[in-house]
Structure 1
């Protein structure tokens, strides 16, 4: 029986930003890999700043060339932080990524994520449009995860978000404790699905937390550069969205924005092509030690009633 091949795709979260070691970013996926079994072959293709387009066009072909057994696809926050955000395009790209992995017999690992506006503590008029976008992405990820039988983690809940000890100085990425929490939660789900043979990742940090001085230095350098890049791209549109938010709030019609976003998600999912169930290569699970999925990829209908709450 050959070792499990685990490939991680996504953005800075999966790249490991916030969990820095002497060798650079590590992150939740690298912490999870040893628990998949002895000799697990782990490759991290995630890149900071990646959007769904990058995962589809660059990371997925590279991942499939490795013939993975398990593929983590955690992406979408950066799409919400661009003026070009389009939930139809996000849904179409993620559907293609999931389908491509499923066709190769790989088990998918996915997650819904917190909205960046809440994490940054933005004023409500600015935070609300970003939250609505992230809820839309999460609704798509949830629906497609069901469609392709993914092992899916809802990491958008408020419990761990409120614990500042789990987050890095930038308030957008988990610190080492947070990455370990994510790895442990994924391990629990994978164990329930019969995909793990090793011990769960430890929740205790290996390295001391960054000092306040180090955190402030990071914010003054890398953090400031990140904000500057986002401001050039998103801020003009975000200000227009905030004004629209304030107008609807004054009229008492704020619910209309949520309804429109929910309708856009439903339309984006309805527009996706139907896909036939993928065939798992004969003997693939015997080689990897991974059991067959409970739901065949593409065999279940999309839940078009997924709302944005």
Structure 2
């Protein structure tokens, strides 16, 4: 898809981070946008930021774990906009815990949002996407859909599965009107830690090191993670560039590309290679937002 003008795009997880900036960049490019998020407060903030653009915006609160609500979403979009051209399955959460001690409710929570939500939304929107001369499906996996670390077993399970699901769809729809893309972000400055769960029984030091290599409370980790990652506006731009170039795999950040390379070079010992390049990459990472965009 070379132009987003006069298209209708649905973006989940649009209350903050990459989802918010996908919506902003799409609106700036002339697309009407449907933004969805479980957090109505931050969803409203995104809607306010979109008011500067001369496009139609629909804000729909949505819990991706609610199968019936997800299945009902396409009809709401069609009723308001008449069509849908692009679907961005971007919402995601995690739980900082080892598998052995993780409550089953936490496991199900992540699975229902990260994996089942993606599958349910894709199934629900496919008939409408196929009606368009040109359509796009973008599913967000992660670099943690390529490699694994401790205390993130449920997150890896969902992101490896999203990768497999999406790459299967790439092959199934090859040569059709539907372009399918799988996104693998590295460290992006989003609110995923703030919006996730950390069990009280976990060893705090191990739990935190599994994500950042540092110690601190969940609030401190959230701030450090958000402030030290690539700015999400830049990540969103990379995604849209990948869509226009029809790249089925879209890696975001040098860290993602190098971690993918490390697991190719040493599939069983890539964790020993990661510290060698993570510090310089952190220092080189572009944390500034794109110019001329509304920020929050």
TM-score bracket for the superposition, by shorter chain length: 0.3 to 0.5
Q: How high is the TM-score relative to the length of structure 2? A: 0.39
Normalised by the size of structure 1, how large is the TM-score?
A: 0.38
Determine which structure has greater relative contact order: mean sequence separation of CA pairs < 8 Å that are 6+ residues apart, divided by chain length.
1
For the pair shown, which has the larger CA radius of gyration, 1 or 2? 1
The structure in which a higher percent of residues are strand is: 2
